[in-house]
Amino acid sequence: MSASKLKSAMIVGILALLVGCGSSEKDRPIGAVVAISVPLGLPPVPIPADNVPTAETIALGRKLFYDVRLSNDNTQSCASCHDSKLGFSDGRRLSIGVHGLAGVRNAPTLLNAAYLPLQFWDGRAASLEMQTALPIQDHREMDVSPARLLFRLNTDATYRAMCEKAFGSRLLDMVEVEKSISAFERTLLSGDSPFDRFYFGGDKSALTAAQIRGLLIFQDPGRGNCAVCHSIRKNDALFTDGKFHNLGIGVGDDESLTDNGRFGQTGTASDTGTFLTPTLRNVALTAPYMHDGSEKTLEAVMDYYAGHGNSNPYLDPEMTKIHLSAQDKSDLVEFMKGLTGAMPQQAGPPTKE
């Protein structure tokens, strides 16, 4: 290689470095656009203009999602904490990341995460694309640097070929990794539960008598008061308001909180100890519960609410409006079992090609 050729190659390389973080024409999907079909009970999926899902980006994202090379020590894939067999959660109180390190919060389900306006328990990512980038680099989660990750992926001919098809570029960059995984995650929709067939589908036999009682308690502001945050709308239900609330989880002896939640992002006092309302869809599959995984069962969660949680200066006032009898708690648990939906197709590990 001549000196001038080397120089021009370096300039091109440096330019490539500079565009690595931003979205640009070269990171746009080029394949056939896929219309994501939405199950009963869910609204249309929000799609960002610069990452319209294509068959190719979804396939690439699915492969990346299940690839342990996304972690420093090749032990963790996205699926390690978001296991399709466990409702895209991990069944642990706190997740285990690279080098056996424990995380600090409970892994939320990825099912229907595409609808959330903000991602993570503290809402620190405003899109799936932004969300995807963080666990990959988090020292307690996957802990892999972009340079190392891209080296691993771009030295694999399969990824290079998939990247070419998905984005028309020869090598993956981080934006393309994030976009592809997000495109796959937008297909992880779950609806058409017994509740959906009852409430939106008009099938009055879809829920049991106990579940129907539970639904009424769920919506009654003077009993369960659940729907005040776990929203049910006229034509669809996400079972979350997408907002942040303090339930008193993690209150210590002096009423301080072990985790300040949303406050860490906004610095606003009223956000202290508030966390994103999780969806209740598939909640029966995603024990344990709460941001710290401190409640082992749905029954324990009902007891926690029935007792009005733990007092602290920022407790959501809606907590104290709850009044539940033992029968009510049992009916609510039955109702929540009726929120287990159909699982998305082609969401498991891709078969070897």
Partner 1 sequence: MKKTFPLLSILLIMAGCSHSSAPGGASASSVAVPNYFHVDAATAGTISGSVHFSGQRPAKKTIEMSNDPACVNANQGAVYDDSMIIDDHNGLADAFVYVKSGLEGKTFAPAAAPVTIDQHGCWFHPRVIGVQVGQELDVVNSDPVTHNIHPMAQVNHEWNHSQGPGDPPMKRRFTKQEIMIPVKCNIHNWMHAHIGVVDHPYFAVSASDGSFTIPNLPPGTYTLEVWHDHLPTQEQQVTVPAHGNAKINFNFKAK
Mask: binding to partner 1, 213-242, rule CB under 8 A, as x and -? ------------------------------
In the bound state with partner 1, the residue whose beta carbon lies nearer, of 11 and 35, is 11
Among 52, 201, 300, 318, interactor with partner 1 by CB under 8 A:
300
Query: What letters, b where the CB count within 10 A reaches 16 and e where it falls short, cover 327-341?
Result: ebbbbbbbbbbbbbb
3-state SS string for 47-73: CCCCCCCEHHHHHHHHHHHCCHHHCCC
Nearest-angstrom CA–CA distance, 112 and 338: 16
CB of 9 to partner 1, least distance (A): 4
Q: Taking CB under 8 A as the rule, does residue 325 contact partner 1?
A: yes
Q: Taking CB under 8 A as the rule, does residue 35 contact partner 1?
A: no
In the bound state with partner 1, the residue whose beta carbon lies nearer, of 206 and 301, is 301
Instruction: List the beta strands (DSSP E) in 225-291.
Output: 244-245, 275-276
Mask: binding to partner 1, 167-206, rule CB under 8 A, as x and -? ----x-xxx-------------------------------
Write out the DSSP string of 180-216.
HHHHHHTT------HHHHHHTS--TTSS-HHHHHHHH
In the bound state with partner 1, the residue whose beta carbon lies nearer, of 185 and 236, is 185
CB of 271 to partner 1, least distance (A): 12
160, containing H or E segment = helix 157-167
Nearest-angstrom CA–CA distance, 70 and 96: 15
Tokens standing for 223?
A: 């009993």
Among 67, 143, 295, 331, interactor with partner 1 by CB under 8 A:
295
In the bound state with partner 1, the residue whose beta carbon lies nearer, of 40 and 171, is 171
* Phi, psi torsion values for 337, nearest 5 degrees: -65, -25
Mask: binding to partner 1, 83-122, rule CB under 8 A, as x and -? ----------------------------------------
CB of 308 to partner 1, least distance (A): 5
Among 39, 48, 91, 146, interactor with partner 1 by CB under 8 A:
146
Binding part of the chain for partner 1, among 65-73, 131-139, 192-200, 201-209 by CB under 8 A, reads: 131-139
Q: Taking CB under 8 A as the rule, does residue 25 contact partner 1?
A: no
Q: How far is CA 327 from CA 197, 208, 214, in A?
A: 24, 15, 9
In the bound state with partner 1, the residue whose beta carbon lies nearer, of 165 and 323, is 323
By CB neighbour count within 10 A (0-12 exposed, 13-18 middle, 19+ buried), where does 267 fall? exposed
Q: Taking CB under 8 A as the rule, does residue 270 contact partner 1?
A: no
Binding part of the chain for partner 1, among 193-201, 220-228, 231-239, 256-264 by CB under 8 A, reads: 256-264
Among 255, 268, 342, 346, interactor with partner 1 by CB under 8 A:
255
By CB neighbour count within 10 A (0-12 exposed, 13-18 middle, 19+ buried), where does 14 fall? exposed
In the bound state with partner 1, the residue whose beta carbon lies nearer, of 78 and 174, is 174
Tokens standing for 207?
A: 């829920």
CB of 248 to partner 1, least distance (A): 8
Q: Taking CB under 8 A as the rule, does residue 45 contact partner 1?
A: no
Check if the beta carbon of residue 208 is closer than 8 Å to that of residue 337.
no
24: closest CA among 168, 183, 187, 181?
Answer: 168
Q: Which of residues 60-79 bind partner 1 (CB under 8 A)?
A: none
Neighbouring C-beta atoms of residue 314, cutoff 10 Å: 19
Question: Which residue ranges make up the site for partner 1 (CB under 8 A)?
Answer: 1, 5-6, 9-10, 12-14, 16-17, 19-21, 124, 133-134, 137, 145-147, 149-151, 154, 171, 173-175, 248, 251, 253, 255, 260, 263-264, 295, 300, 303-304, 306-311, 325-326
